Chain A
Amino acid sequence: MKRFAIIAPADSSSAARMLAEPHRAALAGGVDLLDTLKQNLAAPDELVNLKALGGLDRIERAPGGGLRIGPLVKLSQLAAAPDVRARHAALADAANAAATPQIRNLATVAGNLAQRPRCWYFRNPDIVCLKKGGTKCYAVAGLNRYHAILGGGPSFIVHPSNLAPALVAYDATLTILAPDGERQLAIADFFTPPTIDPRRENILTPGRIITAIEVPAPLANAGAAWLEAREKQSFDWPLVSVVAIIALNHAGVVEYARVVMGAVAPIPWRAPAAEKILLGARLDRDLATRAAAAALAGAAPLAHNGYKVPIAKALVRRAILRAANLADEPA
């Protein structure tokens, strides 16, 4: 691991300017950063300590019932905040399921979005894979039980963030600060699929930092659910996670539907085909099952990860029904 210095920016703009230099990296919670330094995935000379910036670690209620979340808010803080629990429970649940209590006390919201994938080829310091400028994604012909079943290629990583699918489902907007100014970005546009650039997972090229995450209020009659399947119950990464937001009218007909999956694709994976099936139809278990099948219709599993397809289907169905507060009883 290369020796580095920690430098403190005076304000957000100077942080963005400092980070425009490629020999620097951003330090927030430092959780994944430390891993990437030890795994030779990054070798910065200087870490720009974003924790020196004030005011970025708050959760505020925005007009209209939305949330404005500072990028340095800790996962534990997000999970426990009454304002988040009240209107954006799926986001709070997603935060609460990540990692361990110790890590959630350090890890930040922006860091969770920007963490690098967990692929064991990518993380191995001895292996130069496609994501590290090599020619080959070793997962294709290798051990790929945890890899992508949707949207894969040329890299088959899965996006590791628990918050990402929840924020996509809630239509969050990110404020991105760069040396040339600030802009707002729909979170769906934050993520970079490997077809565009397999070497990164998002648009945070040097000099860009997240300064705010805004989450609009969901429809008053909408319910949400966050579900995950993971092998271990203590400290594990999901095999599949699903966020569903569903609003029904008085007749039980779906007025609004959002279905987003995590850990199945290189980016958080929205399922518009599932949403289309749901919209305008009376929600029952059968409809949810059909929506789940549609969500996975495009799945293209590798040799060892086909089992994630039925898991994802089950979780999509369950999340839809749970979001609508309907029982998941077979007829």
Chain B
Amino acid sequence: MARRVTLTLGFAGGTREVAVVIPDAEPTPWQWGEKFSVVGVPTPRADGPLKATGRAPYTYDVQLPGMLHGAILRSPYPHARVRGVDLSAARKLDGVRAALDRSGATVRFAGQEVAAVAATSPEIARDALALIRVDYAPMPFVAAMDEAMRPDAALVFERGSNVAAPIVNAVGNVAAGLETAAATHEAVYTTPVQTHVSLETHGAVASWRGDALTVWCSTQGIFGVRDDLAVHFSLPPENVRVITAYLGGGFGSKFGAGHEVIFAAELARMAGAPVKLMLPRADEHLATGNRPSSSQRVRIGAARDGALTAIELVQHGSGGIGGGSGSSGPYLTLYRCANLRTEERNVYLNAGPSSAMRAPGWPQGCFALELAIDELARKLGIDRLELRRRNNPSPVRALEFEIGARAFRWNDRSRAPQSRGPLKRGIGVASAAWHGIGASGPQAQCVALRDGRVQVRIGTQDIGTGTRTIIAMVAAEELGLPLDRVTAEIGDTRYLFSLPSGGSLTAPSTTPAVRQAAAHLKRKLMRLAAPLLGADSDDLIIRGGVISARAAPNRSLTFAELCRRIPGDSLAADGEHVPNYAGYSLTQAGCQFAGVEVDCETGIVRVTDFVAVHDAGVIVDPLTARSQVNGGIIMGVGFALFEERRIDPQLGVMVNPTMDDYKLPGILDTPEIQVFFVEVANGITNTGVLGLGEAVHVAATAAIGCAVADAIGAPVRDLPLTPDRVLAALGQA
């Protein structure tokens, strides 16, 4: 059963009528010019006061009666065989209740898990680690990419090479494209390993009752953790319950049950008592994932008018003992070019494993590509923004460039004379893109309670972006209720399934399920109201919490009065995310402008201001959306200027696994940020909401890199843009 509807879709740059076939159960997708009453209103996040006052219960805060505390012993060697682990002294320590080890394993990075204990206090657990005797047979290691790529390099894994087979994408003919170019540019750009540094470290509290396991977990995917634990312990999934009420960041590093979660559950089972195992900060840097490094050789060419004739990337990147270091995404997406080729190779090192991190590969690729575009623009004598406009494939981004350039005063600033003193100002612009279109799977339940409140229950989790808030807003919008009547109940695998919060999936995947559930609930409520108002349920409307018949608006019923008529305790309805419609467009654009000030005598860079212009379909809550843009940019400042996992070549250990030495931007390092949204009615789901988390981070570092090159008149092609590199680019050091 389906119906055909014609939707007005598009954006301020143009709309068109699009026919879409939608299932009967679906509400008509929101379209261009939709009149909202809750959606689109800047709304403070629902749990803001709880978080700001420290009352929001994070995994870290879970305390259970009789709970033990776990700790993990890690290898100090980057590569070693663990010949034996002697737990006897640790087990004898007063207060130690369980211990386990990975004897016989080979450790391949300094920080890899070797043993774990659970004790009656965190202090005893740490003392017990010191009593564990490990017999290591150290092996040769590789700590840097160039070293690992040599033919005689020590091998990370027992196979022929540390270099994985290349992944190649190609269209057209790059050689021919470069041949015809009026100007070409070639250079190597590098980016370091960045760690996620979630404020809440990884960890869990595990509690068994018979064969049933409950785990409070700092995760961005409760169902993934449930499934991993069910497989590990050979349990049916329904025997495992995972709860994430509040999450202190993840950025891609908290999918699935990591070692610390498995260990917490193993130790809890051995000890017959709940175990809490939250990682110390250093462990977080060493072992819970990171953004891989990259070395990107870029060749690029353009015709005299600026039209790109060729783009080529030859890339090596390292995710330590992990893979997935490719950075081709922006090369294949951001600009129109008929001759494109990317070749990516992962290089294995004796270093902590990579994991997904906020737009995997994209900030790295964007940095190199956008700097190369700038270098090419200089050779062509074309304004850098203009060159991007000429090669931009996205009509939405064209409008975004216009809005951004005006707000940033690009033309004035690009013509402003440089100061005579050592402080030089520079500006940069970079394109963003992502595909935050969501995926099917999520289901939601909307429940009207007899006291007039509505709960939306859905097994998603709020990674910190405001998921609770926007879910309640979407349901309130559909139900015609003030927002204060609706709350979102999330973060528990007892609710209906939802996807992990990563890849900008959450908002586009959950909101259609929530809206459908709310629409279904509304239909049930209207059937309940119909006899009370003497009208047909199809003729009833609800607005501002008041139900009335279209034909007889003077007879009405409040939502609270209606809910008192609910038989039993509550009235519930389910909804699901149906597969996306073709709609208007599946792509997501964006652009960011950065201003910097560089002290040419000290090499110190200060990011002064940013203009960010983004689209994410319907913006449900402009306030939390803006907050997400701010976060994406601040994270980009860190990647641009400060952050790098530094591994000592002599020892193969990370020397800066602390908040002191691993440098993150603070408030004084944060620029003035102006945010603009281009609303796009895309009709790809019933809400047309897209995800924002990745798109807002992709271009930030690149824009800063371009601005620094502009300020000092020379590109710094290696991240982070630390004073030594800036001075070297200036010929000062």
Measured CB to CB, the nearest residue on chain A to B655 is: A120
Rounded to whole angstroms, the CA-CA distance of A143 and B653 in the bound complex is: 11
Within B407-427, which residues are at the interface with A (CB < 8 Å)? 420-422
Residues of A contacting B602 with CB < 8 Å? 229, 239, 310-311, 314-315
Q: Provide the bound-state CA to CA distance between A129 and B22, in Å.
A: 69
Report yes or no: B601 in contact with A236, Cβ–Cβ below 8 A.
no
Cβ-based interface call for B234 (8 A): no
Q: Is B53 an interface residue (CB 8 A)?
A: no
Question: In this assembly, does B631 line the interface, its C-beta being within 8 Å of a C-beta of chain A?
Answer: no
Within the complex, which residue of B601, B646, B665 is in contact with A310, where a contact is CB–CB below 8 Å?
B601
Whether, in the assembled complex, B551 has its beta carbon less than 8 Å from a beta carbon of chain A, the answer is no
Contacts of A121 in B (CB 8 A): 648, 655
Q: When A233-B606, A310-B733, A311-B601 are in contact, do A145 and B724 touch as well, CB less than 8 Å? A: yes
Within the complex, which residue of B420, B604, B722, B724 is in contact with A330, where a contact is CB–CB below 8 Å? B420
Residue of B nearest to A121 (CB): B655
Q: How far is the CA of A235 from the CA of B641 in the complex (A)?
A: 15
CB distance B601 to A314 under 8 Å?
A: yes
Task: List chain B residues, Cβ under 8 A from A3.
Answer: 123
Q: Which residues of B contact A123 (CB under 8 A)?
A: 658, 661
Q: Are B666 and A310 in contact (CB under 8 A)?
A: no
Task: Please give, as numbers and ranges, the residues of chain A lying within 8 Å of B727 by CB-CB distance.
Answer: 307, 310-311
Instruction: Give B194 Cβ to nearest chain A Cβ, in Å.
Output: 15
Q: Are A120 and B723 in contact (CB under 8 A)?
A: no
A127 within 8 A of B: yes
Number of A-B contacts (CB under 8 A): 97
A330–B423 CA distance with the chains assembled, in angstroms:
13
- Residue on A with the closest CB to B726? A307
What's the minimum C-beta distance from B638 to chain A, rounded to whole angstroms? 9
Q: Is A304 an interface residue (CB 8 A)?
A: yes
Partner of B722, one of A231, A234, A315: A231
Within 8 A of B (CB), among A269-312: 304-307, 309-311
Cross-chain contact B669 with A307 (CB below 8 angstroms): no
| Measured CA separation A121–B123 after assembly (Å) | 24
B123 touches A127 (CB 8 A): no
Contact partners of B606 in chain A: CB under 8 A: 233
Q: Which of A231, A239, A329 contacts B641 (CB 8 A)?
A: A231
Alpha-carbon gap, A315 to B723, bound state (A): 14
For B646, the closest partner residue in chain A by CB is A143
In the complex, which residues of chain A have a beta carbon less than 8 angstroms from the beta carbon of B604?
229-231
Question: Nearest chain-B residue to A237 (Cβ)?
Answer: B660
Asked if A58 is at the interface of the complex by the 8 Å CB criterion, the answer is no
Q: Report yes or no: A233 in contact with B123, Cβ–Cβ below 8 A.
A: no
Q: Using CB atoms, name the residue of chain A closest to B604.
A: A229
Nearest-neighbour CB distance to chain A for B659, whole angstroms, equals 9
Q: Verify if B76 is at the interface (C-beta below 8 Å from A).
A: yes
Residue from A138, A231, A232 in contact with B651 in the complex, judged by beta carbons closer than 8 Å = A138
Query: Within 8 Å CB of A328, what residues of B?
Result: 421
A310 to B663, CA, bound (A): 22
Interface residues of B in 118-133 (CB under 8 A from A): 123, 126
Which of A1, A142, A234, A307 touches B665 (beta carbons < 8 Å)?
A234
Tell me how far the C-beta of A139 lies from the nearest C-beta in chain B, rounded to whole angstroms: 10
Give A312-331 as 1s and 0s: 1 = Cβ < 8 Å from B's Cβ atoms: 00110000000000001110
Report the separation of the CA atoms of residues A28 and B611 in the bound assembly, to the nearest whole angstrom: 46
Interfacial chain A residues near B603, Cβ < 8 Å: 307, 311
Nearest residue (CB) in B for A142 is B648
Asked if A233 and B669 make an inter-chain contact with CB atoms under 8 angstroms apart, the answer reads yes
**Interchain CA distance A18-B604 in the complex, whole Å:** 46
Which residues of chain B are near A145, meaning CB under 8 Å?
722, 724
Q: Is A141 an interface residue (CB 8 A)?
A: yes
State whether A239 touches B665 (Cβ < 8 A): no
Output the least CB separation between A129 and chain B (Å). Answer: 11
Which of B420, B641, B665, B669 has the most chain A CB atoms closer than 10 A to its own CB? B669
Cα A127 to Cα B650 in complex, Å, equals 12
Query: B642 near A141 (CB under 8 angstroms)?
Result: no
Are B123 and A234 in contact (CB-based, < 8 A)?
Answer: no
Q: Distance in Å from the Cβ of A227 to the closest Cβ of chain B? A: 10
The minimal Cβ–Cβ distance linking B129 to chain A, given in whole angstroms, is: 11
Q: Taking the nearest CB of chain B, how far is it from the CB of A42, in angstroms?
A: 16
Q: Which of A120, A235, A307 is within 8 Å of B666, CB to CB?
A: A235
Report the bound CA distance from A3 to B727 in whole Å.
Answer: 47
A314 to B733, CA, bound (A): 13
Chain B residue nearest to A305 (CB atoms) is B724
B732 touches A310 (CB 8 A): yes
B649 at the interface (CB under 8 A from A): yes
B199 at interface (Cβ–Cβ under 8 A)?
A: no
User: B391 contacts the other chain (Cβ, under 8 Å)?
Assistant: no
Q: Is A126 an interface residue (CB 8 A)?
A: yes
- Choose one: A141, A232, A306; the contact of B663 (CB below 8 Å): A232
The residue from B126, B651, B668 contacting A233, defined by CB atoms under 8 A apart: B668
Q: Is the CB of B660 within 8 A of A143?
A: no
A233 CA / B606 CA spacing, docked (Å): 8
CA A231 – CA B660 in complex, angstroms? 12
Alpha-carbon separation in the docked complex, A239 to B726 (Å): 14
Q: Cα distance A121–B421 when bound, in Å?
A: 38
* Chain A proximity mask over B619-649: 1 for CB below 8 Å, otherwise 0: 0000000000000000000000110001011
Residues of chain B lying within 8 A (CB to CB) of residue A310: 601-602, 727, 732-733
Q: When chains A and B are docked, how far (Å) is the Cα of A141 from the Cα of B648?
A: 9
Residue among A123, A124, A127, A145 with max Cβ neighbours from chain B (10 Å): A124
Whether the Cβ atoms of B648 and A233 lie closer than 8 Å is: no
CB distance from B54 to the nearest CB of A (A): 16
Does any Cβ of A come within 8 Å of B728's Cβ?
Answer: yes
Q: Say yes or no for B440: interface residue by CB 8 A criterion.
A: no
How far apart sit A314 and B601, CA to CA, in the bound complex (Å)? 6
- Say yes or no for B656: interface residue by CB 8 A criterion: yes
* Interface flags, B310-343, vs A, CB<8A=1, else 0: 0000000000000000000000000000000000
Q: With an 8 A cutoff between CB atoms, is B2 at the interface?
A: no
The verdict on A200 contacting chain B, using a C-beta distance below 8 Å, is no
Q: How far is the CA of A234 from the CA of B659 in the complex (A)?
A: 12
Docked-complex contact B126 and A307, CB < 8 angstroms: no
* Contact assessment for A232 and B642 in the assembled complex, using a CB-CB cutoff below 8 Å: yes
A16-B422 Cα distance, complex, nearest whole Å: 50
* Residue on A nearest B638 in the bound complex, by CB: A232
CB-nearest residue of chain B to A35: B660
For the complex formed, measure the closest distance between the CB of B652 and the CB atoms of chain A, giving whole angstroms: 11
Instruction: Give Cα A142 to B733, complex, Å.
Output: 19
Give Cα A145–Cα B491 distance, bound, in whole angstroms. 44
Say if the beta carbon of A118 comes within 8 Å of chain B: yes
Q: Which of B603, B658, B667, B724 has the most CB of A within 10 A?
A: B724
Taking CB as reference atom, which chain A residue is nearest B656?
A120
Q: Is the CB of B665 within 8 A of A143?
A: no
* 9 closest residue pairs by CB, A with B: A234-B666, A314-B601, A307-B724, A233-B668, A307-B733, A120-B655, A234-B668, A229-B602, A126-B76
6 contacts between A and B (CB under 8 A): A123-B661, A143-B655, A232-B668, A233-B666, A233-B669, A311-B727
Please name 8 further chain A to chain B contacts, defined as beta carbons within 8 Å, in addition to the given A234-B667, A236-B663, sorted by A numbering.
A126-B653, A142-B650, A143-B648, A229-B723, A231-B723, A305-B724, A311-B723, A314-B422
Interface residues of B (CB under 8 A from A): 76, 123, 126, 420-422, 599, 601-604, 606, 641-642, 646, 648-651, 653, 655-656, 658, 660-661, 663, 665-669, 722-724, 727-728, 732-733
